[in-house]
Structure 1
Amino acid sequence: MSDPPPVLRWDRLLSAERIPLPGEEADAASARSGDAHRTPFEADHDRVVYAAPFRRLARKTQVHPLAPNDQVHNRLTHSIEVASVGRSLGRRLGAFLTGRGDLAREHADDLVWILQAACLAHDLGNPPFGHAGEYALRAFAAKHPADVPGAGTPAAADWALFEGNAQGFRLAARADNPGAGHLRLTCSTLGAIVKYPWAVDDPRAAARGKFNAFHSEKDVFARVVDACGLALPGGRVARHPLSFLAEAADDICYRILDLEDAVEMRIVPEERVRRIFAGFTEADPAAPLSKLRGGVIRALERACWNAFVDGFPAVMAGEREDDLKSSLAGRLPDALAEVKALYGEIFAHRDKVAAELGAYKALGRIVTALARSVDDLTASPGRRFAETDFLTQRTLELAFGRSHVEEHPGRGAFWWSHRVMDFVSGLTDNGARDLSAAIDGHAA
């Protein structure tokens, strides 16, 4: 069977365009994207590194909420490790494309910077308490649909299917809420972040619980698709080729390093994890855990790269959607199945379950307070801060600051709902716990 013809083109996939600011032309936005000493994609990397949402990842759960052990991973250390693997995959891709004549050598480093930036940014939208926070927000919206900010607007669906990937895309793409850390990255880096190239109103969002754009970013998402040339016949959207490698870097790191955390937390015996790691490469299970882990990461990186090369024609034709690990062969699928089985035990651990129950109560209390304030603020067109009641004023001051509210008179519930989403998802584990206690009258 012959390979499908390529549809995607690297001259468009490496788009330095940024989403224009209000009233700005696209050409002007792109012209300011870099300078003589730093490419737009290096600038993307630096924007993420210096961003407040990136710093806050240091106090956000990777797997174990509010872990008392300082040696376990948080979202920040995880993201740095993912970027390390992403860098290696980017170098492989640069050599591959230049060797094929698909890319000029001077652009090979662009791939490395884009992948590093995408990997560093991939978890920016995760709420406090890790995936438990996502599930808590969804469960709260399902049980209390009238109590979410923007109830009665399309924002209600964004809360009902709250997705850290979509919130991360929002933070990475927009520039109109600098207080929340909106970054306005290039379209190429945004494309590399997108694993699920559809919006919340696509049937796949409800069916799979995964998507990459809220209602508020549908126009932004369409702009990225156009800039990178990802549109396919029939209204479909292709995944950006770099998104497969960024996703693989994430998969490799969290599946392996989360097990080390389970050992550190004394949830799983070290000997058991050593045996699982040794099964990836037929190594000696008596070797130090760190050495075994390094061998596993190298083996998975190499295998994912080979899967990318084998499926490259389908990727460039816009036909591939599945992640690279679904194409692994040999002993690796069985070894990953062992890891997945162990995850069931880790996620069922008593301390983790108790923390997740607390996450539901904490986030529900915060969202309820903010929703009430948004309802008051948007009760009539043009309603101003000074016209709201005492509790609304104090809540809005706490979340956004009085000046920010006064700078946006007349904004509706839909707009404010996503400002609330920025605030809630931006809370750290500690911040959410303490704010919830304060709202409940129990100052930390």
Structure 2
Amino acid sequence: MNWQTLFSNKRLGAEHRNAHENFRTDYMRDYDRLIFSSQFRRLQNKTQVFPLPGAVFVHNRLTHSLEVASVGRSLGKAIGEKVVEKHKDQLNQEAIEFYKFELSAVCMTACIAHDIGNPPFGHSGEEAIRTYFKELEGEKLSILTQNLTENQFNDFKYFEGNANAFRILTTIFNQSNLNLTYTTLASIIKYPADSTNGFKKKSYISAKKSGFFDTEIDFYKSIANELNINALNEKNTVFARHPFVFLVEAADDICYRIIDLEDAHRLNIISIQEARDLLEPFFENQEGKKNIKEKVDTIEDDKQKLAFLRAMLIGKLVFKCTEVFFEYESQLLDGTLNKPLIDLLDEKIIALIDKIDQISIKKIYNDKSVIEIEIAGYHIIGGLLKEFISAVLQPNSPKSKKLLQLIPNQFSIEKEENVYQNIQSVVDFISGMTDLYAIDLYRKITGIQIPHL
């Protein structure tokens, strides 16, 4: 891979590159298409970590994505300028313009889309889908085993929000003529591997999870061919990561750790002193550290103290990730870099991040309210899957006919023999739900709540 060929404003599904509008570039149009999409709007009612919302407002998937986009834009701007500064003699004018002015927009757009494929109820929603299909037995298991290839079945047994995001931004967006550029799409795929060759944690970072379902493999191959992204296996089912992916991932890695602490403090799970003890050491032995601590002491409101520390730390980590990006530039370009940027920072910073992770696992991710919403997610998503999968596999029963009428027309259910597509339509339907819609529909179809009574 090289900087000259890692971008293209060609759109998936379009034979030719689109001409720029007078006031919007292609990458700005990608951003606009995502921001105005119903899939993005629904993120406002999808769980980030804590239940949504009580008297205290906490982050949801939408607010998290917008904050990640802000950090991604900063990383893209910093990296783009340095690429031009370092490689100006090897880049044509189009490339110079892209890295100076457009990479920031690409990273920002990829960041607002990075969680667009996540189902309701946070990461437990993904696990609930996987668990349902892994625990199938009897007639249902027999039907799937006979009608699906190994990789197609693995799409469901190892359901992955990243792969689902790529499906939304290709298959589903293309149906609405919202075709995105190859560059934006490539920047979103953290794990460019299929479901069978993914989830190999001791292999390439590309294969830690999966990045595309069976239906979208050819889409990714088209992108890889256009941008000269090299395959890492003979079957062309695992690819090198696009370098821009590392920037999107870094923006997410920076944000979620800090905002989860902020939310935990707002919910009185973490005290202000505990939060300060975790964040202030990042500035030790740094010029101005004393002034930072003094400034925190002068702020009366505890929430504002934490907001100040958050802003300072994000700035520091953006700078450090920019430095390490170019330290590992050759590995980024040849596809051999197997760690996220944040794991390549100096030992002191990694140790401090590890301490945040330890406290977060102990106090935040295992808080009673988090566990309760995760358990609810298992029951609700598992229950919805049980009802609707039964309906598509046995469509002629009276109950099935009624249930199938509840699936919107955009999630088309085809003839009985197209089992994979029908199951995928059900998963599209359920994974796209907001938390509240999933709860409401589950209550109604199970009789817990009778409509209009």
TM-score normalised by L of structure 2: 0.85
Instruction: Tell me what 1:427 maps to.
Output: 433
Q: How does 1:262-273 map to 2 (within 5 A)?
A: 262-273=264-275
Gaps of 5+ in 1: 1-7, 21-25, 378-387
Task: Output the amino acid matched with 1:326.
Answer: D
Q: 1:269 to 1:162 in 2, by over 3 A?
A: same
Q: How does 1:326-341 map to 2 (within 5 A)?
A: 326-341=343-358
Deviation at 1:439, TM superposition (A): 1.5
1:214-248 C-alpha deviation (Å, 9 max, x unpaired): 12211112112111110246545221111000100
Deviation at 1:17, TM superposition (A): 2.4
How far apart, in 2, do the equivalents of 1:66 and 1:140 lie? 25
Q: 1:404 to 1:99 in 2, by over 3 A?
A: closer
Q: 1:157 to 1:415 in 2, by over 3 A?
A: same
Give the counterpart of 1:27 among 9, 15, 18.
Answer: 15
How far apart, in 1, do the equivalents of 2:167 and 2:43 lie? 16
Percent of aligned positions with the same letter in both sequences?
32
Q: 1:161 to 1:69 in 2, by over 3 A?
A: farther
Instruction: Tell me what 2:254 maps to.
Output: 252
Q: How does 1:38-437 map to 2 (within 5 A)?
A: 38-100=24-86, 101=88, 102-103=90-91, 104=93, 105-107=96-98, 108-144=100-136, 147=140, 151-152=144-145, 153-154=148-149, 155-175=152-172, 178=175, 183-202=178-197, 204-205=199-200, 210-232=209-231, 234-235=233-234, 237-282=239-284, 283-284=292-293, 286=297, 288-344=305-361, 345-377=363-395, 388-401=396-409, 405=412, 408=414, 412-437=418-443
1:316-366 C-alpha deviation (Å, 9 max, x unpaired): 122213210111105311210111111112111112112211111100110
1:10 is paired with a residue whose SS is coil
1:14 is paired with a residue whose SS is coil
Deviation at 1:34, TM superposition (A): 4.8
Q: RMSD of the TM alignment (CA)?
A: 2.4
1:399 is paired with a residue whose SS is coil
Deviation at 1:249, TM superposition (A): 0.4
How far apart, in 2, do the equivalents of 1:39 and 1:149 lie? 50
Segment drifting more, 353-362 vs 312-321: 312-321
Task: Output the amino acid matched with 2:185.
Answer: L
Task: Output the amino acid matched with 1:300.
Answer: L
1:150 touches 1:156 (CA, 8 Å); kept in 2?
no
Segment drifting more, 47-56 vs 326-335: 326-335
Task: Output the amino acid matched with 1:374.
Answer: V
How far apart, in 1, do the equivalents of 2:325 and 2:257 lie? 19
Deviation at 1:157, TM superposition (A): 1.5
Deviation at 1:36, TM superposition (A): 4.0
Which runs of 4 or more aligned residues in structure 1 lie more than 3 Å from their structure 2 counterparts after TM superposition?
A: 33-37, 102-105, 145-150, 175-178, 181-184, 203-209, 232-236, 403-406, 408-411
Task: Output the amino acid matched with 2:438.
Answer: A
Deviation at 1:71, TM superposition (A): 1.8
Task: Output the amino acid matched with 1:226.
Answer: N
* Number of residues of Structure 1 aligned to a counterpart in Structure 2: 416
How far apart, in 2, do the equivalents of 1:17 and 1:304 lie? 29
1:141 touches 1:160 (CA, 8 Å); kept in 2?
yes
How far apart, in 1, do the equivalents of 2:161 and 2:198 lie? 18
